[in-house]
Structure 1
Amino acid sequence: MKIQDACVDCIINQSARVADAIHADEKLQTQLISTVEEMSKSFSFSQTPPQIAAYVYEKMALIAGKSDLYDEMKEHSTQKARSFVPQLREELAKSDDKLLTATKIAVAGNVIDLAAEVAFDLEEELYKIFETEFTHDDFAQLKRSLENAKTVLVIGDNVGEHIFDYVFIETLQKLYPDAAFSYMVRGVPIINDVTMKEAKEAGFDSLCNLVDSGVNTPGFDYARANDEAKALYDSADIVISKGMGNFESLTPTHREKVYFLFKVKCNVIANFLGAEVGDIICKVV
């Protein structure tokens, strides 16, 4: 998906959120915001929002002298997400459809997004997610694909959300013990996206095959991925892609059986899908 005018405003607004996240003084805050405003004048509308975000955040990190702008908030998100794990396991234990419950859990975690236009409360989302229907509902097809898959790639999105992804993959492994599962993360810190650091801290390297995509974008940009990530993306029987950044980066994509799981958090995506902000999506291409 290419950027639209609304995406430009969103990216500019993110500079103010970055300033807040790093506790910037007034001078640094002004420098961050004014720099992004100036950069926005030359944004290319042939690029995706994650591609634009990559060099914007790189510039902000350079100005701030901080390679991981959201390190403190990522740690907080992880701790908060972990506090819900007992509740998630309880929901799974009593569920008559563990795949659906695990999938809803994976989507619920997607509300942890520090770049989103609209913020959602994680506790409130967990309260209602299991009674919420998918607006785009390809869940039955996902289930059929999983029953026949030997290799499954899950592309991660945000920190905190990755704790919910762990529970999701753990459940998939129990339901489909003959399949091999991989979890793919970003190559460098970008916004609050999950990297090898957070994935290893969560134990993904013991849970499944953990892969560094090599990308510097807040979304899996195939052209920027390393050879291992490209090969895995191309060869996996199915791909489960988490979050809007991955949807923006992989729309369109060259392969079939890519399942997008996310919560709609901006009007651009809502309009593209014929959905509303707040809807949940399980969509296959």
Structure 2
Amino acid sequence: MTIQNECIGCITAQSKRVCEAIHADAALSERIVQYVETSLQNADFTLSPPVVAAPLYEHMAVLADTNDLYEHQKQHATQQANSYIPFLQESITQSDDPFIATLKTAVVGNVIDLAAEVSFDLHEAINSVFTTPFSHDDSTQLSETLKRSKTVLYIGDNAGEHIFDGLTIQSLQKLYPHTVFTYMVRGNPIINDVTMREALEAGMDSICTVMDSGVPTPGFVYELASSEAQNLFETADLIIAKGMGNYECMTPQKRHNICFLLKVKCSVVAASLGREIGDIICKLD
């Protein structure tokens, strides 16, 4: 999907949140916000919001003299997510429908998003997710597709959320033991998205194969991916793509059998899906 007028204000607001996150002084804050506002005056409206935002974040990092603007926030989100794993494991085990409980576990982690228009409380989301229906529910079709799939590419989104992704993949491996999973991460630090560093620190490589997409944007962009990542994207029997960034970058789709799992956190994505902010989505195309 392409960037809309509403996205411009959202990206500007994100730049202000960056300044708060890195505790920038007034002078640095002014340079960062002014740079973003000026750059957005020439935004290419044929591109997706993550593609427009990516170079802006790269330059904000240069201005702030850091490689990872949200390093500390990602560490905190990971610690917070880990504290909920026992509860989520038990919820899946005791559920009357472990598959649906697994999908809900995947989606609830998508609350951890530092670039969203609207923020949600993780604790509240976890307490309510198992009684919240998918507003777009292709879970039955997804289950049938998984039964036929030998290979699944699971494209991650945010750090912290990746802890829930690990539990999700472990649960899916039990339900579909014939299926081989690969977990794909971003090519370099961008917003609070998961990279190889966070994935390896969490031991994701002991759960399944972990692949660096090579993509520098907060969402999978095929044209920017490494040849290895492109090949897996093309050949995997099923792709599970987490979060709004992946949805924005991969809509319209380049192939069939892509399942988008996300929580709607902005008006533009809500309009694209015909849903409401706060809805949870399981959409198989």
Task: Please give the range of the TM-score, normalised by the shorter of the 2 chains.
Answer: over 0.9
Specify the alignment match of 1:63 in structure 2. 63
Specify the alignment match of 1:225 in structure 2. 225
- The residue identity in structure 1 corresponding to 2:52 is I
How far apart, in 1, do the equivalents of 2:14 and 2:227 lie? 31
CA drift at 1:268: 0.5
CA drift at 1:256: 0.3
- The residue identity in structure 2 corresponding to 1:192 is N
How far apart, in 2, do the equivalents of 1:65 and 1:10 lie? 23
- The residue identity in structure 2 corresponding to 1:186 is R
Let me know the Cα RMSD of the aligned residues.
0.6
CA drift at 1:272: 1.2
Q: Which residues in structure 2 correspond to 1:1-285 (within 5 Å)?
A: 1-285=1-285
CA drift at 1:39: 0.6
- SS of structure 2 residue aligned to 1:252: coil
How far apart, in 1, do the equivalents of 2:167 and 2:19 lie? 33
- The residue identity in structure 1 corresponding to 2:238 is I
TM-score by length of 2: 0.99
TM-superposition CA deviations, 1:227-271 (whole Å, max 9, x none): 110010110100000000000000012210000000000000111
The number of residue pairs the alignment matches comes to 285
TM-superposition CA deviations, 1:1-32 (whole Å, max 9, x none): 10000001100100000000101011111111
CA drift at 1:53: 1.1
- SS of structure 1 residue aligned to 2:23: coil
How far apart, in 2, do the equivalents of 1:123 and 1:113 lie? 14
TM-superposition CA deviations, 1:38-76 (whole Å, max 9, x none): 111011001110101111101101111111000000000
How far apart, in 2, do the equivalents of 1:89 and 1:138 lie? 23
CA drift at 1:95: 1.0
TM-superposition CA deviations, 1:86-118 (whole Å, max 9, x none): 110110121121111010000000000000000
TM-score by length of 1: 0.99
- The residue identity in structure 2 corresponding to 1:236 is A
**Residue segments in structure 2 that go unaligned for 5+ positions in a row:** none
- The residue identity in structure 2 corresponding to 1:177 is P
**Residue segments in structure 1 that go unaligned for 5+ positions in a row:** none
